[in-house]
């Protein structure tokens, strides 16, 4: 178990398309454990492999509340196979775009297929925060960031500020 460095935008790896995982083996399980450690330490409720520089279709999430037992989910090759027509707006942030939050409108419910840490095929229907989180993380696998769902004006402003923050951190 180890914490991994999280990439901050802009970074070409945050804009690339991740490759499907062919075998869910010990390497993949270890990566998912490390990603969970990284996510909890940040702290965050979701993390996609490209955010730690691994261009593979792997996502971890945990949307359990503060006073609930933790509920880590490990998803390999997650894919949205159904989206509700009903949409919902909700605030999002991203560990790769620190300190910025904005309302994003997305389908309220989704059905997602994936393989679990044993390689078993699974399907879940998610709503509320889990639906939002899964859509946000699966976007990462295709190089899409939550700011891409905002107006160009808002997106450019947030990305410009993030770039500044990154530069000031690098030189600190
Ligand atoms: Ni994110």
pLDDT tens figures, 45-75: 999 999 999 999 999 999 998 899 999 999 9
DSSP 70-114: ---EEEEEEEEEEE-S-EEEEEEEETTEEEEEEEEEEES-EEEEE
What does the pLDDT read at residue 51?
98
Residues assigned a catalytic role:
137
> Domain for residue 69, yes or no?
yes
CA distance 51 to 30: 16
Domain tally for the chain?
1
What does the pLDDT read at residue 160?
97
What per-residue string of b and e applies to 144-160 under the rule 16 or more CB within 10 Å gives b? bbbbebbeeeebeebbe
Residue 24 CA to ligand 1 center (angstroms) comes to 23
Q: Span 85-112, mean pLDDT?
A: 98
Residue 123 CA to ligand 1 center (angstroms) comes to 22
Q: Which residues contact 151 (CB under 8 A, 6 or more apart)?
A: none
> Domain for residue 2, yes or no?
no
> Domain for residue 7, yes or no?
no
> Domain for residue 104, yes or no?
yes
> Domain for residue 1, yes or no?
no
> Domain for residue 139, yes or no?
yes
Q: Please, which pLDDT band fits residue 171 given cuts at 50, 70 and 90?
A: confident
The domain of 63 spans 12-171
Other CB atoms within a 10 A radius of the CB of residue 41 amount to 11
CA distance 134 to 47: 10
> Domain for residue 6, yes or no?
no
What does the pLDDT read at residue 76?
99
Who surrounds ion ligand 1 at CB < 5 A? 94
Note whether 11 and 140 are within 8 A (CB). Answer: no
Give residue-wise pLDDT tens across range 120-156: 999 999 999 999 999 999 999 999 999 999 999 999 9
Mean pLDDT of the chain: 97
What does the pLDDT read at residue 150?
98
> Domain for residue 125, yes or no?
yes
Task: Say whether pLDDT at 172 is over 80.
Answer: no
CATH code, domain carrying 104 = 3.90.45.10
């Amino acid at each position: 178990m180890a914490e991994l460095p999280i990439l901050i935008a802009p970074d070409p790896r945050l804009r690339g398309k991740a490759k499907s995982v062919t075998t869910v083996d010990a390497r993949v399980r270890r990566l998912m454990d490390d990603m969970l450690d990284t996510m909890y330490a940040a702290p965050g409720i979701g993390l996609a492999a490209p955010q730690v520089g691994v261009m593979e279709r792997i996502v971890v999430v945990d949307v359990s509340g503060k006073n609930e037992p933790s509920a880590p989910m490990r998803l390999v090759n997650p894919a949205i196979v159904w989206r509700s027509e009903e949409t919902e707006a909700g605030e999002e942030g991203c560990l790769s775009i620190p300190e910025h939050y904005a309302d994003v409108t997305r389908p309220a419910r989704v059905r997602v297929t994936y393989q679990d840490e044993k390689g078993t095929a699974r399907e879940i229907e998610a709503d509320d925060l889990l639906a939002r989180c899964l859509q946000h993380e699966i976007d990462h696998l295709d190089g899409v960031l939550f700011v891409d769902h905002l107006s160009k004006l808002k997106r450019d402003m947030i990305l410009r500020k993030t770039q500044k923050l990154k530069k000031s951190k690098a030189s600190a």
